[in-house]
Amino acid sequence: MHRCEIITVGTELLLGEILNTNLQFLSQRLAETGIAVERHCTVGDNPARLREAFLSALDRGDIVLLTGGLGPTADDITKEVVCEALELPLVLDELQLSRIEDFFRTRGLAMSESNRKQALVPEGCQVLYNGNGTAPGCWIAKGDKRVALLPGPPGELRPMFQEQLKPLLMPFSSGVILSHYLRTIGIGESRMADLAQDYLDLANPTIAPYAKQGEAFLRVCAAAATEEEAEALCKPIIKKLKEILGFYAYSVDKELEAAVIDCLVEAKKTVAIAESCTGGGIAAKLTQAPGASAVFGWGVVSYSNDCKRALLDVPAYVLERYGAVSAECAFSMAEGIKKRSGADIGLAVTGIAGPGSDGTAKPVGLIYLAATDGETTLEERIETGRGDRGYNRDYATKQALNLLRKLLAKRTEAN
């Protein structure tokens, strides 16, 4: 099996200013590709220490991946240090230069002279095109060793790895490791694990529970010579786990919003959304999925009572008697947006996201959800007991999307 080491470069990482998500991303992808990662190392923007770390990694491993330090500024040194250590000259790549020039032109930004530096590449390397920034990546062969340079920003690194570097790594693979995630909502991690108990000791695929804010996943992970064989190992187990977890399991691998859109498309229903405490977050999450426009056309962010009255026809007496954070208001918002829009389903959320209270005696973290299709109406009252604005908004958003799933499945009983 080929041995790989990953070096991430940046003083900001040593200062803890950013979370090093690239390490996890690259490690997962390499594991899937069947390449063993034996070490992670992070050094700052310091040529001597980077050189030492690079040469010792190259000494131990067959493949060294470096990320970061490919930017245009003086403290971006990765390319220069690696080339010097490998005794490779840097040469101007005209194609990269014109791509960088285009990048600035289409954005109407002035190009700095230092950006020209980014068009320099190690002689004889394979250039990895950066569709999302100005720093190209590189794939360098030196004897039987291989070195890859990748940009630090995850939005540039991830597509470059997937589209360009992965195919170059495949000849070094010794089989595949394949993971699927069976995603659940509405059940805790430990209860999910209890239900799946009989499967947690399997050897191949392995089954492991993970908790994620308001959701819980089971990872099903198989090792095999080919992707097809690994899929064949996972498939029957996932089928059984889905049966055990029932309605809690909303998808395999798919995000909640995409799973909800699938449910709407299948039921041939449209939804309109009225939201208060989530501030547009439900609509924003639903429309993250490309197919959203087929099932969603109308959203109102009624952050004020004026807006609730004017755009959602919430009656004045509801606001006066029960207040904006009430089951009555949530229902009235759902009904209002449904009628205005002509959508099949109206979905509404109102609540107190925090950190401060809304000036009433109601607790921070109190959230009301409502969904109605005209025939059936589902309502939920949540009290998170937490003052964390981000958590409360995120939790309300996910529970609202799950309420839509429940309505579509006509699950009128509590779970």
| Distance of alpha carbon 408 from alpha carbon 411, whole angstroms | 8
| Distance of alpha carbon 415 from alpha carbon 406, whole angstroms | 8
> Is there binding between residue 199 and its own copies (CB under 8 A)?
no
Please name every residue paired with 90 in a beta bridge, in sequence order, or none if there are none.
Answer: 122
| Distance of alpha carbon 224 from alpha carbon 177, whole angstroms | 7
> Is there binding between residue 412 and its own copies (CB under 8 A)?
no
Near its own copies by CB under 8 A: residue from 199, 247, 322, 391:
391
Give the nearer residue to its own copies in terms of CB position, either 88 or 271: 271
Work out the widest C-alpha separation in the chain, in whole angstroms: 79
CB 44 within 8 A of CB 10: yes
Near its own copies by CB under 8 A: residue from 37, 81, 86, 220:
37
Give the nearer residue to its own copies in terms of CB position, either 18 or 316: 18
> Is there binding between residue 298 and its own copies (CB under 8 A)?
yes
Tell me the three state secondary structure of residue 115.
helix
Give the nearer residue to its own copies in terms of CB position, either 10 or 88: 10
> Is there binding between residue 119 and its own copies (CB under 8 A)?
no
Q: How far is the CB of 261 from its own copies (least distance, A)?
A: 12
> Is there binding between residue 23 and its own copies (CB under 8 A)?
yes
> Is there binding between residue 290 and its own copies (CB under 8 A)?
yes
CB 129 within 8 A of CB 136: yes
Span near its own copies by CB under 8 A; candidates 44-52, 86-94, 168-176, 231-239 = 44-52
| Distance of alpha carbon 333 from alpha carbon 305, whole angstroms | 11
> Is there binding between residue 278 and its own copies (CB under 8 A)?
yes
> Is there binding between residue 72 and its own copies (CB under 8 A)?
yes
| Distance of alpha carbon 325 from alpha carbon 303, whole angstroms | 11
> Is there binding between residue 302 and its own copies (CB under 8 A)?
yes
Tell me the three state secondary structure of residue 412.
coil
Please give the residues from 210 up to 229 whose contact with its own copies meets the rule CB under 8 A.
210-213, 219, 221
Q: How far is the CB of 360 from its own copies (least distance, A)?
A: 14
Q: Which of 175, 257, 262, 244 is CA-nearest to residue 215?
A: 257
Q: How far is the CB of 110 from its own copies (least distance, A)?
A: 6
Cα dihedral 16/58/91/162 (nearest 10): -60
CB 220 within 8 A of CB 180: yes
> Is there binding between residue 47 and its own copies (CB under 8 A)?
no
Q: How far is the CB of 392 from its own copies (least distance, A)?
A: 11
Span near its own copies by CB under 8 A; candidates 138-146, 167-175, 236-244, 286-294 = 286-294
> Is there binding between residue 44 and its own copies (CB under 8 A)?
yes
Please give the residues from 229 up to 258 whose contact with its own copies meets the rule CB under 8 A.
none
| Distance of alpha carbon 177 from alpha carbon 156, whole angstroms | 24
